[in-house]
Amino acid sequence: MASTPIAVSVLSPEQRRKQDETSDGLFYSRPRFVHHLDGAFRSRLTALYRERLQPDSVVLDLMSSWVSHLPEQVAYREVIGHGMNAEELEANPRLSRHWVQNLNEDQTLPLPSDSVDAALIVAGWQYLQQPERVAVDLLRVVRPGGQLIVAFSNRMFPSKAPLAWLESSDRDRLSSVARILLCQGWELDQLLSEDTRAEGPLGWLGGKGDPFFAVIARKAHGRGHG
């Protein structure tokens, strides 16, 4: 069996620090049945999924909650969910199964190698203190030719975001995610940086919604894991 490769370090120890260093388990112990992103962002994300995700594929929604933003009309073979709050994940109607794991304490995913067609992270990367290690293990579980979509906006729980994220511009965040993925062996497919239009009357008047950013990466076809 091949051993998991060591992650290439990109962030400094200082950049991994966050204001609230208590265990994330404490922060996520009570469920939050709220939307973390506005309707404009969510619609854009669902459209991207419709375009990018093949029906009947195995999808991993890493850092999920009670919603996965997948197009309602499309059936996937399996949607595996991961998050920090079991109640939220149990309430998510798209998930076939789920597990709870603090990725700031343990970055090894309990999934077989090459078993996932597409991995998704929405408004989650910003809380990772060891994103390089998570990216390495995601590269293991995604099948050759499969993809990873990391989507985010400019909102966050500031006390829980590592300084690397907290103190960066939107543009720097996009390039940081891309750089970390590239350094671990992912191939970059597309970078998206878009304004959205607010839903309803505000949008008719030209009001903007949450900005939409995404990094889409691929695992090379020839790259297997034993």
Ligand X SMILES: C[S@@+](CC[C@H](N)C(=O)[O-])C[C@H]1O[C@@H](n2cnc3c(N)ncnc32)[C@H](O)[C@@H]1O
Q: Which positions lie near ligand X, rule CB under 6 A?
A: 24, 28, 36, 63-65, 67, 83-84, 102-104, 122-124, 127
Cβ distance to ligand X smaller for residue 36 or 94 = 36
Shortest distance, CB of residue 56 to ligand X, whole angstroms?
Answer: 23
Shortest distance, CB of residue 210 to ligand X, whole angstroms?
Answer: 11
Cβ distance to ligand X smaller for residue 20 or 187 = 20
Cβ distance to ligand X smaller for residue 29 or 220 = 29
Cβ distance to ligand X smaller for residue 121 or 181 = 121
Torsion sign, CA atoms 62, 65, 71, 77: positive
Which residues are CB-contacts of 108 (< 8 A; sequence separation ≥ 6)?
4, 137
- The amino acid present at 162, given as its one-letter code, is P
Interhelix angle for 170-183 vs 131-141, to 10°? Answer: 50
Cβ distance to ligand X smaller for residue 92 or 168 = 92
Residue nearest to ligand X (CB): 83
Q: How many CB atoms lie within 10 A of CB 105?
A: 11
Buried-state track 28-61, b at ≥16 Cβ within 10 A, e below 16 = beebeeeebbbebbbbbbbebbeeebeeebbbbb
Shortest distance, CB of residue 218 to ligand X, whole angstroms?
Answer: 21
Question: Bridge partners of 120?
Answer: 61, 149
Shortest distance, CB of residue 31 to ligand X, whole angstroms?
Answer: 9
Shortest distance, CB of residue 62 to ligand X, whole angstroms?
Answer: 8
